[in-house]
Amino acid sequence: MDAAASRAVWAAGVIFMAGTLGACGGGAGSTRPNPSAPAPTSATAPASTPGSAAAPPTSSTRVLGQADLERAVVGPKDVPGWDTGTLVGRGGDGLRIGQSIPDVSRFPKPRPAACGPLNSAAGMVGDRQYHALVEQTVSRSSAKDPEGEQTVTMSLTAYSAADAPRVMADLRTSLRTCTSFRTPLEPDMGYSDPRPLAEPKLGDDAVSYRITQSNPSVDRSGNDDGGPRVDAHFHYVVVRCGTGIAVFSAMAFPQDTRPPQVPMDLVAAQVDKLRKVVTGR
């Protein structure tokens, strides 16, 4: 598989997974459950961002609606230097792409079942019934970033007051008990080696981890060329703010030398805007 073909395949894989599955504080003041996941690995993401410690925790249990998430999602004015592209709902660019909320209980389940929350996170949602969704890409060109072009896929989802904390608990359990799985809607695509990272001090609760995605080798036309399977590496950051959950995903292409990294300044900006909508401030 050459570089152009591999980039096209991995980008298509991200969009496929997203489309088919398709109030808070930070720092020392946050109230978080005691995670049962393993201790973070040495290759950790930043655990905090400047200014996050000042955000007060919230006890809001109001279920957010579609309009709430569309007000809360960041756009170019909120994150200067970044461009946004709507995938579902109305994103920060103002474009609206219609969607219906599926019955999550009817989603095909991966095997083993312990990997269900990680499979759902790969589709940018939680493993519980959500009631509203906005999804977009956030990108920065190489001309604006000395480290090169960056693209992050992100989503905002709304859950019941009971289910939002359970989404986070489910994800931690899956990180502890799942080692590998195949996606039921795309059986040639697999995930393995999930590794918890240091938890960002953002929101009411946050999880960060890396995971490896595996796909068949393909030619420029997207056909299986019989070559060895090709791995891409992902970094996920998941943050809960009241009944809203933000998911961020960054990918390193097979030929990239640096590990994937979701920019934490982007995460902090989105969490802060979501917090304001959740708290009504």
User: In this model, does residue 40 exceed pLDDT 90?
Assistant: no
pLDDT at position 149 is: 75
In this predicted model, what pLDDT tens digit does every residue of 220-266 receive, in sequence order?
Answer: 877 877 888 889 999 999 999 999 999 999 998 777 888 899 999 99
Calculate ∠ Cα 222-225-227, nearest 5°.
Answer: 125
What is the span of the domain harbouring residue 196?
A: 3-279
pLDDT at position 62 is: 87
User: How deeply is 176 buried, as exposed, middle or buried, from its count of CB atoms within 10 A (0-12, 13-18, 19+)?
Assistant: middle
Q: Which residue has the higher pLDDT, 61 or 153?
A: 153
pLDDT at position 66 is: 97
Average pLDDT over residues 80-107: 94
Outline where the chain has alpha helix (H). Answer: 3-20, 66-72, 116-122, 163-177, 264-279
Report residue 160's pLDDT band, with 50, 70 and 90 as the boundaries. very high
Percent of the chain with pLDDT over 90: 59
* Tally of structural domains, the chain: 1
The residue among 42, 214, 63 whose CA lies nearest residue 131 is: 63
In this predicted model, what pLDDT tens digit does every residue of 172-184 receive, in sequence order?
Answer: 999 999 999 998 8
User: In this model, does residue 144 exceed pLDDT 70?
Assistant: no
Q: Which residue has the higher pLDDT, 11 or 59?
A: 59
Cα–Cα distance, 268 to 272 (Å, whole number): 6
pLDDT at position 177 is: 98
CATH number, position 95? 3.40.1000.70
Average pLDDT over residues 122-136: 96
> Which pTM does this prediction carry?
0.80
CA-CA distances (angstroms) from residue 60 to 11, 241, 244? 36, 9, 10
